[in-house]
Amino acid sequence: MNPLDVLRDSLYFFKRNLSQIVQLCLPLVMFEALLQQVVDHSTEPDSFPGISVIVGLLVYPLYTAALILFLDARSRGESPSNRELLSRSAYLWPRFALLTVLNTVLILLGLSLYFLPGIYLMVTLAFGEYLLVLRGLAPLAAMKESLRLTSGHFLRILLCILSVMGPLWLLKGVTLAAYPEPQNPVISLLIDSAHSFLQLFTSVVLFRLFMLINPLPERNDNSL
């Protein structure tokens, strides 16, 4: 399981299915960015910082679960409609949102403890979303199973995550330097939407890793 092969296969899939991923996820990504912008402009700077996390919980589970379902369907050679994918992701929303809350709290707590525990949790909990969506596990069970599956693969998973997120963090920094605060609301919306959408590539990479480590039965791995 060479990380370069994982990244290459994921990039090929992402490019080949870009149009469908855009149609499925980008409207919700932009809606999330718009909500964040509204909240940022309507709250005081010293207000409760968790408001942004709450806003993300409203939308993030919808488009992420829909993307995971899409990845799974394409790997099986199926082509479900966006309406079907979003309907199924809406059904999964309560459990997915709870999993997101638990992951976020643990990772943030780990990052506050000299950073490294947060990185460890980010990697070892990386498969929880796929286990919840594709295996139907409850949030806590998905987290526990993710810890088990990632055992022995920590460096590979970390390298793949950093290979995607590193350039995105750099791009975000360059963008903020080119368009410093205060930004035009439209430009800010476009930047935030583009950055969030590009982060979806991480989900594609992690899905590929997940399927290589623990493939589901009756799957056509030629798709991804």
pLDDT on residue 216: 61
User: What six digits make up the tokens of 152?
Assistant: 């022995």
183 versus 11: which is more confidently predicted? 11
Most confident listed range (23-37, 104-118, 182-196): 23-37
The proportion of the chain whose per-residue pLDDT surpasses 90, expressed as a percent, equals 70
- With 90 as the cut, is the pLDDT of residue 167 above it? yes
- Confidence band (pLDDT; 50, 70, 90) for 113? confident
pLDDT on residue 44: 67
- Confidence band (pLDDT; 50, 70, 90) for 222? very low
- Mean pLDDT confidence for 191-212: 95
Domain coordinates in residue numbering, the chain: 3-42+50-213
219 versus 83: which is more confidently predicted? 83
- Mean pLDDT confidence for 163-169: 94
What are the phi and psi torsion angles at 164 (to 5°)? -90, -50
How far apart, in whole angstroms, are the C-alpha atoms of residue 67 and residue 52?
22
pLDDT on residue 74: 94
Residue 27 contacts residue 34 (beta carbons within 8 Å): no
Angle subtended at Cα 219 by Cα 127 and Cα 155, rounded to the nearest 5 degrees: 30
pLDDT on residue 20: 96
pLDDT on residue 56: 82
pLDDT on residue 184: 82
19 versus 223: which is more confidently predicted? 19
How far apart, in whole angstroms, are the C-alpha atoms of residue 48 and residue 44?
9
* Those residues with Cβ within 8 angstroms of residue 51's Cβ, 6 or more apart along the chain or in another chain: 39, 43
Considering only CA atoms, which of 192, 187, 195, 197 is closest in space to residue 33?
A: 192
49 versus 125: which is more confidently predicted? 125
User: What six digits make up the tokens of 218?
Assistant: 């009756």
